[in-house]
Amino acid sequence: SAVISQKPSRDICQRGTSLTIQCQVDSQVTMMFWYRQQPGQSLTLIATANQGSEATYESGFVIDKFPISRPNLTFSTLTVSNMSPEDSSIYLCSVGGTDYNEQFFGPGTRLTVL
């Protein structure tokens, strides 16, 4: 299994600002995923980030709001732009295992927007 770290672990931000979340993996992986877990809700896939190509966004998520970078096979960032209180969530990155049905998750970033 991969070891995944995220920075920051938590943050409190003012509305209208942006936050960039970093995800670092201890091994090279092709696909990285970003999820959001709003309070009391399930984990929802935001986008899939492949190295060397544009991220693929799920329905309801757009690049202007959640720009993603994937500069190499061990690192990715997710930016939450122009934040509002509705963006208060836990944001998690994950990578696929040998079977992509199985994914390994980072510890998450708990974001509170005031």
Partner 1 sequence: DQQVKQNSPSLSVQEGRISILNCDYTNSMFDYFLWYKKYPAEGPTFLISISSIKDKNEDGRFTVFLNKSAKHLSLHIVPSQPGDSAVYFCAASVSSGGSNYKLTFGKGTLLTVNP
Least Å distance, CB 82 to partner 1, is: 26
Instruction: Return the number of the residue (13 or 45) whose C-beta is nearest partner 1.
Output: 45
Closest CA to 23 of 79, 62, 64: 79
Residue 17 interacting with partner 1 (CB under 8 A): no
CA distance 51 to 47: 13
Least Å distance, CB 101 to partner 1, is: 5
Least Å distance, CB 94 to partner 1, is: 7
**Binder among 41, 72, 82, 112 for partner 1 (CB under 8 A):** 41
Residues 89 and 36: beta-carbon distance below 8 Å: yes
Residues 67 and 80: beta-carbon distance below 8 Å: no
CA distance 16 to 108: 22
**Binder among 25, 33, 34, 87 for partner 1 (CB under 8 A):** 33
Closest CA to 111 of 84, 73, 72: 84
Least Å distance, CB 15 to partner 1, is: 25
Which spans of this chain sit near partner 1 (rule: CB under 8 A)? 1, 4, 9, 31, 33, 40-45, 48, 58, 92, 94, 96-97, 100-108
